[in-house]
Structure 1
Amino acid sequence: MVDQESVPKLHQVVLDCTDARSLAEFYRQFLGLVYRPGDEPPAPGQDDPRGREWLVLRTPDGTPQIAFQQVDHLPETTWPDNKVPQQLHLDLTVESVEELLVQHERALRLGGRLRYDRIDDPDEPLRVRRPRRPPVLCVRRLTARSGSAATRRRRIRRCPPQRA
């Protein structure tokens, strides 16, 4: 018999993308994850059928984290302008502004682009990046004053976008 008060457990986040292998590689390197057995990249010059369909990244101990589902077309977000809003983004945290700067440089080396910079915010310093393909990636320093997601959205919308 099923417990009527039970709740499902989140297994993993699945990201639609137009280049599953490229996006999976970005997050594998940036987050220190590993491929599910069988999803590893093929040898150079070999066909990559899994990279054109579905890939899964896990923690080194095997816990699923992110899956990548290949789609034919996905409009690129124009965030923070809402002409094409972001459908999903990943919020990651670090312990200090210094670590935020280190992770920012890592994301850039892996092909990310700076989309929004609020590193000088005393309450919630953050930098928003976009990998080569959607979705947006937000890395911020976790603080006691970070507030709810709604509070963060209001603060982000008040700030003008960073111009390149």
Structure 2
Amino acid sequence: MHTVVDALECRPLAEFYRELLGLRYRPGDEPPTDGSPDDADWLVLLDDAGRRVLAVQDVPSIKRPDWPEHSVPAQLHLDFAVPDVAALERHRRRAEELGATLLLDRTYDAEEPLYVLADPTGHPFCLLVSALG
């Protein structure tokens, strides 16, 4: 149905992925506009066709993964394919503008150039050039 990512506060992480991936909120999950508190603890993000892509849920505690070490494992990571190196560079810059942190630069790999980044909560994700991208 969709992948769920844990966060101490789901709205900021949902906003990161909404902006990064060009998604939109499921109806009813949008941020309040009337000044009321944003007490969302589960948010679903949809693609342009209305399909569920990603959900973000509040959890009471989370340890930031320390990838590439494994004392605090990543447990999962997301891969996002792009069609070429120019798109890879553009999406890396965009991710960093939104709060991602670069963990690994493997753009020298001619077969599969990629970046490993961490989202604002610390979950690693990859941006890579792929023939499937």
> Could you state the TM-score of these two structures normalised by the residue count of structure 2?
0.94
Aligned residues: 132
- Give aligned-pair identity as a percent: 42
Q: Which runs of 4+ in 1 moved over 6 A?
A: none
Asked whether the 8 Å contact 1:124–1:143 carries over to 2, the reply is: no
Taking only aligned residues, the RMSD between alpha carbons, in angstroms, comes to: 1.4
Partner of 2:2: 12
Cα offset, 1:137, TM superposition: 1.4
Structure 2: distance between partners of 1:137 and 1:88 = 9
**Given the alignment, which residue of 7, 22, 45 partners 1:32?**
22
Greater share of helix residues, 1 or 2?
1
Q: 1:13-162 to 2 correspondence within 5 Å?
A: 13-43=3-33, 45-50=35-40, 53-143=41-131
Gaps spanning 5+ residues in structure 1: where?
1-10, 145-164
Asked whether the 8 Å contact 1:127–1:138 carries over to 2, the reply is: yes
Gaps spanning 5+ residues in structure 2: where?
none
Structure 2: distance between partners of 1:46 and 1:109 = 28
Distance 1:134 1:45, change over 3 A: farther
Select the structure with the greater relative contact order (CA < 8 A; seq sep ≥ 6).
Answer: 2
- Higher-Rg structure is 1
